[in-house]
Amino acid sequence: MAKRFFLIVLDSFGVGELPDASLWHDEGSDTLGAIRNHPNFNCPNLKELGLFNIDGVGGGVSAPKACFAKMAERSMGKDTTIGHWEIGGIVSPDPLPTFPDGFPPEVIHEFEEKTGRRVLCNKPYSGTEVIKDYGREHVETGALIVYTSADSVFQIAAHEDVVPVAKLYEYCETARKMLVGKYSVGRVIARPFTGEYPYTRTANRHDFSLAPPADTMLDLLQRAGYDTISVGKIYDIFAGKGISESNRTTSNTHGMQVTGELLKRDFQGLCFVNLVDFDMKYGHRNDVAGYAAAATEFDGFLGGFLKEMREDDVLLITADHGCDPSTPSTDHSREYTPMLICGRGIKSGVDLGIRSSFSDISATVLEFFGVPQGTTSGESFWKAVRK
């Protein structure tokens, strides 16, 4: 029977501050803690698997159905790119560059020269607020809205009637080629919007990521002949490296639908899923109610998914960082992440404690498929969880 491993990342679903959270001004952050008592939160399937049995979370069940752990991030960062790379087996000792005062004049000047368009804003900003504050001027002048955040990102916002989506992607590719060396941001992000003031962001967001600096589990699995299927922005995060099939999505709901369809399909390998709405729509917007409701929607999907898993299938649920929606900050938070692993061939109730790196997931996936780790990091927990 085909071996299939489903790895689902609940983007930003942190479970409490890391010991070094103060270095990022994230003391007290706890994304799960911020949503678990909201009336919109109802996650019986996650609870039965052992989400609340994870060290320090509290409120667990007596007989968890999954094996569980709390994952520490070893890389120096708290962003999507760094987090996913570490899940994939790359530990990043140096943070990607950030620009709290905006991008330097030489970068903006070069970008303006190459695109033929003036730049507006050029400072850290909320994605929804920046189009309110600069959208009208952009529509009137055609100038591009460029902004950043606490993450290593160069974001370009434009109205789809002023700059067609294909042209906006072209501008992003221009920026991606420019931003190298000390300006090597993790992601250049297209942020199209539409409608009348105060405008609405569309689902045509696209990330142009820095390519991983070394092999990840995706490269190793692909070389070994396994399928490496991405759902959501996984393809973008890894710049397509090591991915045999990409499935773009427009929302959590769409991502879960695609993942459910893949569960019914024959393949041999890894299905790597990112559900971005937790972070993009709720964490960054300090929307506790929305985040709690999104968790409940995922839990409902999970109930059906677990019933349809095949004999040899393995499911692992985790996150890439935190984004506590209850703090004054709208940025990511430096947090532990959850890890739940289950399947018919997986033991129940094994507490794997606190793992020292997200990369232990990569090592486990590779051991499951019998693929050597190569230069990737991490300590596999496969032998501890398999029956």
Tens digits of per-residue pLDDT, 5-19? Answer: 999 999 999 999 999
Under 8 Å CB-to-CB from 13, ≥6 apart: which residues?
31, 32, 278, 295, 319, 322, 337, 338
Q: Which of 44, 113, 20 is nearest to 295 (CA)?
A: 44
Q: What is the pLDDT of residues 260-318, one digit of tens each?
A: 999 999 999 999 999 999 999 999 999 999 999 999 999 999 999 999 999 999 999 99
Pick the CATH number of 4-94+211-385 from 3.30.360.10, 3.30.2350.10, 3.40.720.10, 1.10.260.40: 3.40.720.10
What residues pair up with 202 in beta bridges, in sequence order?
A: none
Under 8 Å CB-to-CB from 225, ≥6 apart: which residues?
none
Q: Which of 14, 72, 70 is nearest to 352 (CA)?
A: 70
d(C-alpha 95, C-alpha 186), whole Å: 10
Structure tokens at 189: 């992000």
d(C-alpha 249, C-alpha 379), whole Å: 31
Q: What is the pLDDT of residues 30-67, one digit of tens each?
A: 999 999 999 999 999 999 999 999 999 999 999 999 99
Question: Are the C-beta atoms of 224 and 371 separated by less than 8 Å?
Answer: yes
pLDDT of residue 1: 64
Q: What is the pLDDT of residues 329-376, one digit of tens each?
A: 999 999 999 999 999 999 999 999 999 999 999 999 999 999 999 999
Under 8 Å CB-to-CB from 61, ≥6 apart: which residues?
47, 48, 50, 52, 53
CATH dotted code for 105-209: 3.30.70.1250
Q: What is the pLDDT of residues 58-95, one digit of tens each?
A: 999 999 999 999 999 999 999 999 999 999 999 999 99
d(C-alpha 121, C-alpha 4), whole Å: 46
d(C-alpha 225, C-alpha 32), whole Å: 37
Which SS3 state, helix, strand or coil, does residue 24 take?
A: helix
User: Which amino acid makes up residue 386?
Assistant: R
pLDDT of residue 53: 98
The pTM assigned to this predicted structure is: 0.93
In this prediction, residues 103-130 reach a mean pLDDT of 97
User: Which segments of 157-224 does DSSP mark as H helices, in order?
Assistant: 165-178, 217-223
In this prediction, residues 19-27 reach a mean pLDDT of 96
In this prediction, residues 154-164 reach a mean pLDDT of 98
CA max distance for the chain: 64
pLDDT of residue 150: 87
Structure tokens at 82: 């760094």
**pLDDT value at 25 more than 90:** yes
Rounded to the nearest 10 degrees, the angle between the axes of helix 359-369 and helix 80-87 is: 40
Structure tokens at 339: 């890890």
Q: Which residues of 273-293 are buried (b: 16+ CB within 10 A; e: fewer)?
A: bbbbbbbbbbbbbbbbebbbb
pLDDT of residue 76: 96
pLDDT of residue 287: 98
pLDDT category, 2, cuts 50, 70, 90? confident
Percent of the chain with pLDDT over 70: 100
d(C-alpha 125, C-alpha 135), whole Å: 13
Q: Where in the chain is the domain with CATH 3.40.720.10?
A: 4-94+211-385
Q: Where in the chain is the domain with CATH 3.30.70.1250?
A: 105-209
In this prediction, residues 206-223 reach a mean pLDDT of 96
Q: What is the dihedral of CA 19, 89, 12, 37, to 10 degrees?
A: -70
What is the helix (H) or strand (E) element at residue 327, kind and residue range? none
pLDDT of residue 288: 98
d(C-alpha 203, C-alpha 86), whole Å: 27
Any idea which residue has 């968790």 for tokens?
295
In this prediction, residues 133-148 reach a mean pLDDT of 98
Q: What is the dihedral of CA 281, 284, 287, 292, to 10 degrees?
A: 70
